[in-house]
Amino acid sequence: MSSLLLFAVGFVSLCIHAGLVGFVYYDTGEVALERRRWLLLVGLIPIFGFFMYLFERSELDYDPSTDPYAGGGYNVHPSRADDFPFSRSDGQEGAREASPDGVRRTETENRTATDDEERTQ
């Protein structure tokens, strides 16, 4: 009984491995990746190689216009805005500067806010 179970587990594993290699063979024809390299990688390193292929394939669809961090910007949670140490003078894109009223704004917002304050006085 144990040899039959061992054979079944081995057969299922080989079928899954062959399916992954077959998918990579078919898919490399659709995208601009080297077929031999990826077949060798997925063939020698079954599961990890397949996930490497999927991650590499996803990098082909990168669109910088949809990436919020493309220009070197930072995404800071509003509750941590006071702890944000960078300013535009430090060369950090997307950083915020402190305004006189203690609210963090971008440099252009800061200029318009101080101009508005000067007009009201």
Question: Where a domain ends, among 15, 34, 62?
Answer: 62
User: What is the domain extent for residue 82?
Assistant: 68-120
Q: Are residues 58 and 72 in the same domain?
A: no
pLDDT, averaged across the chain: 75
Q: What confidence score (pLDDT) does residue 9 get?
A: 94
The letter for the amino acid at 106 is: T
pLDDT score of 100 more than 50:
yes
Q: Are residues 21 and 44 in the same domain?
A: yes
**Residue that wins the pLDDT comparison between 46 and 24:** 24
**Residue that wins the pLDDT comparison between 96 and 5:** 5
Question: What is the value of pTM for the model shown?
Answer: 0.50
Q: Which of 55, 45, 57, 3 is nearest to 21 (CA)?
A: 45
Q: Are residues 31 and 50 in the same domain?
A: yes
pLDDT score of 95 more than 60:
no
Q: What confidence score (pLDDT) does residue 92 get?
A: 44
Q: Quick one: what percent of the chain has pLDDT higher than 90?
A: 33
Residues 47, 99: Cα–Cα separation, whole Å: 52
Looking at the structure of the chain, the number of domains it has is 2
Q: Are residues 18 and 37 in the same domain?
A: yes
Q: Are residues 75 and 107 in the same domain?
A: yes
For the segment 47-77, what is each residue's pLDDT rounded down to a tens digit? Answer: 899 999 998 887 777 777 777 667 666 666 7
Angle between helices 35-44 and 2-28 (to 10 degrees): 160
Q: Are residues 12 and 57 in the same domain?
A: yes
Q: Are residues 58 and 87 in the same domain?
A: no
Q: Are residues 14 and 49 in the same domain?
A: yes
Mean pLDDT to the nearest integer, 103-108: 53
Q: What confidence score (pLDDT) does residue 36 get?
A: 92
Question: Where a domain ends, among 32, 47, 62?
Answer: 62
Could you give the C-alpha distances from 110 to 6, 92, 113, 121, in angstroms and in order?
70, 16, 5, 17
Q: Is 99 left (phi over 0), alpha (psi -120 to 50) or beta?
A: beta
Q: What confidence score (pLDDT) does residue 15 get?
A: 95
